[in-house]
Amino acid sequence: MTVEEIVSGNRLALARAATRVENREADDLLKQLFPHSGRAQVLGITGPPGAGKSTLVDQLTLGYRADGKTVAIVAIDPSSPFSGGAILGDRIRMLRHHDDPEVFIRSMATRGTLGGLAAATSDMALLLDAAGFDIVIIETVGVGQDEVEIARIAPVSVVVLVPGMGDDVQAIKAGLLEIADLFVINKADQDGAERLERELHQAEFSTPVVKTVASEGRGIDELRAAIAALPQRKLTAERWKRRLAEMIRERLMERLSLKELDSAAEEVSQRRRDPYSIVHEFIDRHFGERLRD
């Protein structure tokens, strides 16, 4: 596929490019696509499991489509490092939008243990942006460190919460408070929605809060209006810095060969050597003087 094909909306070329991004072999292509990017509204949608993110993304998509906007969805799938397959929710969703060529859905597989989820996700968003989609939605399933990082390097981060999820959600809420550009209280017809709204306002006075009942399509127009009204809707220099750091981190790690760790791991497990000396030696051997303590 060529840059021209992708930019002109060729879906087959796009799908191939997306695979190349997933395989982390797309730097040259992305470099050429960069000048064509920067037009899309890129949204990160994050929140705890059970908050109804998929339904919300579906409803948002329908709303944007009704306005004539094209939509691409990147679903970050925590099962991917292991199974590589699309999750149940995605399969249902793909079926629903199957006939609409202006909705592109990609389940994002990660390559396992060495990270790079955030960098790969940003690259995918850049590709879809350059391919001409008006709206690019990045939907995460988990709520760990990586998801927080993805949210941090998205131009706009929407954090979805639901009333009454207890202590765990308190903690998650605390972790996500500072990265949210906008809060959604979904399932807002349930007990505790008002209290949650008050808590959010107290914690982060200036961050807008929108209440939705996504399963019934309620509050979705208000959410789109709130997104459109955000003062900052493109990636700032500060977020670009984080994104550059993520890119560097990923590219360094993919150059390390774990093969030579085999015998070292064996020695440590038999307690013949300590892991700390091995790590220092490894770094010394591969990265030399430059990084010596």
Task: List the interface residues with its own copies, window 190-219 (CB under 8 A).
Answer: none
Stretch that binds its own copies, among 60-68, 83-91, 191-199, 206-214 (CB under 8 A): 83-91
- Burial call 8-46: b when 16+ CB within 10 Å, e when fewer: eebeebbeebbebbbebebeebbeebeebbeebbbbbbb
Q: Which two tokens stand for residue 8?
A: 């002109």
| C-beta closer to its own copies: residue 135 or 141 | 141
Task: Please tell me whether residue 163 binds its own copies under the rule CB under 8 A.
Answer: no
- Nearest distance in Å: CB 60, its own copies: 17
Which of 22, 129, 146, 197 contacts its own copies by CB under 8 A?
Answer: 146
Coil vs helix vs strand at 51: coil
In whole angstroms, what is the distance from residue 116 CA to residue 81 CA? 12
Owner of token pair 């850049």: 126
At its nearest, how many Å lie between its own copies and the CB of residue 278?
6
For 234, half-sphere exposure in the C-beta direction (CA atoms, 13 angstrom radius) is 6
C-alpha to C-alpha distance for 159 and 107, rounded to whole angstroms: 20
Which range, of 5-13, 95-103, 148-156, 182-190, touches its own copies by CB under 8 A? 148-156
Among 44, 89, 163, 219, indicate the residue that binds its own copies (CB under 8 A): 89
Nearer to its own copies, 167 or 191 (CB): 167
Give the binding range for its own copies (CB under 8 A) out of 17-25, 205-213, 214-222, 277-285. 277-285
Q: Are 119 and 247 in contact, with CB atoms under 8 Å apart?
A: yes
State phi, psi for 44 to the nearest 5 degrees: -95, 130
Q: Should residue 172 be labelled a site residue for its own copies when binding is judged by CB under 8 A?
A: yes
Q: Which is nearer to its own copies, 15 or 258 (CB)?
A: 258
Interaction of residue 264 with its own copies, rule CB under 8 A: yes
- The counts of H helices and E strands in the chain are 13, 7
As measured in angstroms, the least distance from the Cβ of 31 to its own copies is 4
Answer yes or no whether residue 175 interacts with its own copies by CB under 8 A.
yes
Separation between Cα atoms, residue 122 and residue 247, nearest integer Å = 9
Least distance (Å) from its own copies to the CB of residue 238? 7
Minimum Å gap between C-beta 122 and its own copies is 9
Which of 4, 11, 82, 229 forms a contact with its own copies (CB under 8 A)? 82
Beta-carbon neighbour count of residue 89 at 10 Å? Answer: 18
Looking at the DSSP assignment, which residues form a beta bridge with residue 100?
none
3-state SS, residue 24: coil
Under the criterion CB under 8 A, does residue 251 sit at the interface with its own copies?
yes
When binding is defined by CB under 8 A, the residue of 25, 27, 189, 216 that contacts its own copies is 27
Q: Which of 30, 135, 136, 193 binds its own copies (CB under 8 A)?
A: 30
d(CA 225, CA 219): 10
CA dist., res. 270 & res. 17, Å (int): 45
Contact pattern for its own copies over residues 99 through 138, marking x by CB under 8 A? -----------x--xxx-x---------------------
Answer for which of 152, 187, 211, 224 binds its own copies (CB under 8 A) is 152
Rounded Cα gap, residues 278 and 58, in angstroms: 49
